[in-house]
Amino acid sequence: MTEYSRLAKGFFTSTGAAQVIKLPFQPDAVEMWNYSSYGTPAQHGVPYAYWDVNMGQGFAVEQVFNATPVLTTDTVTTNGISTFAAGQLLQYGAQLQIASITKANPAVVTTGSAHGLKSGDVVILSGLYQSSTTGMQQIAGMPFTVTVTGATTFTIPWNTNQSNYTALSGSPTGAFMRKVLYPYLYFPGTSVISAITTGTTTTVTTTAAHNFVVGQEVAFRIPTIWGTYQLNSLPNSVVPGSPIYGYVVSVTDYHTVVVNINSTAFTAYNSNQVFASFSGEFFPQIVAVGDVNTGGVQISANSPLYPSPYLVPIGTTQVSTINGPAILGSYVNNTSQGFVIGAGAGTNDASSVLVGANGNVIYWRAFLHDMSVPF
């Protein structure tokens, strides 16, 4: 039966790390060929592997070259091939103990064991009490894009070197970090503001990648205690009930944008919130509004007929979504699914790497079958 079966194929150049493949479906079978390993047979090379959903997540069977080199077979039981699906709500990784957070700009977070993060990942911190009345609970619950500095350390884009913050130390009970597995379910999304520089234009720094582009129409939601509340889209003293919006005139980097609003006379931004204020606190935000932003790609003479919307979470690399052509608008639904080829080793050959070595060219094919009949 093929009425509802789905097939997809592609290729990539391996970095030696797990490779995420986004698809418009979750496959129930995946196979891969390492073109480089076929061309240059060498011990530990994995030229072919296969995964079926009935094996379990993270498993695979593989062919692997021995020392001769001659092909033999092996199995992968950890970090093999697995599928994923981001839901409509944020999903999180396992809790990891926070050992300490420094008073610094940017703040340095140390975890009790290896965090396994890479720069650009997004995390949520919680339970940031040094005592019952001191700590950094003011920033608990904010999404932070991390910059990895070591196996157990990373920085977050927030200035904790201020009077109302107390450094965390000694692995406080209940202080945890969790990775946000799919942080950009919608983009540009809603971004928490970490800093604002006022002037003839307004520079805004966010705690996680904003995904804004030049020309983006934006609005602000800033509680009075954070300062610079005059940026808020309402009220409009000139035309009551008509929101005041701004436009992004330049993108400095993935967490900094410049907006065309003249804020010279506005109140200074205040990220030095008191510890006692975190209860019931609302975070300051910048959000996308309007009709023509990143919610789609213009079709022009040199573009594909049905261009898929893309986002740019870190740096300048465009990341395609699984969406088809989208109506231009403020947000794109970026709920994603697909499969992952991991860097797991074989059960017998612990030096083999399923996803191949850096520079290897990998071809893959994914299936979603109409029926799966166990016996």
pLDDT digits (tens, 9 = 90+) for 39-48: 999 999 999 9
The pLDDT of residue 281 is 72
Domain boundaries, the chain: 6-86+338-368, 96-180, 184-333
Task: Give the number of other Cβ atoms within 10 Å of residue 69's Cβ.
Answer: 15
Cα–Cα distance between 228 and 174 in angstroms, integer?
33
Residue positions counted in the chain: 375
Domain 184-333 in the same topology as domain 96-180: yes
Q: Give the integer Cα–Cα distance in Å for 101 and 176.
A: 11
Alpha carbon of 315 to those of 160, 211, 318: distances in Å? 25, 10, 9
Q: Which residue has the tokens 């799966």?
A: 372
Residue indicated by tokens 């979470």 = 313
Handedness of CA 229, 234, 237, 239 (dihedral sign): positive
pTM for this predicted structure: 0.79
Question: Does residue 256 contact residue 147 with C-beta atoms inside 8 Å?
Answer: no
Task: Tell me how far apart the alpha carbons of residues 176 and 96 are, in angstroms, rounded to a whole number.
Answer: 5
Query: What pLDDT, in 10s, does the model give residues 182-221?
Result: 888 888 878 999 999 999 999 999 999 998 888 888 999 9
DSSP one-letter code for 38: H
pLDDT given at position 279: 61
Is 313 within 8 Å of 180 (Cβ atoms)? no
Supply 277's token pair. 């204020």
Q: Does the N-terminal peptide bond of residue 240 adopt cis geometry, omega within 30 degrees of 0?
A: no
DSSP designation for 92: B
142/101 Cα distance (integer angstroms): 15
Q: Is 312 helix (H, G, I), strand (E, B) or coil?
A: coil
Domain 184-333 has CATH 3.30.420.40: no
- Which pLDDT belongs to residue 1? 47
Prior bond of 307 cis (ω within 30°): no
Half-sphere exposure of 216 (CA within 13 A, CB side): 26
Select the CATH number that applies to the domain covering 96-180 from these four: 2.120.10.30, 2.40.50.140, 3.20.80.10, 2.40.30.180: 2.40.30.180
Query: Percent of the chain scored above 90 by pLDDT?
Result: 65
Q: Give the residues of the chain that fall short of pLDDT 50.
A: 1
Residue 207, phi then psi, degrees to nearest 5: -80, -20
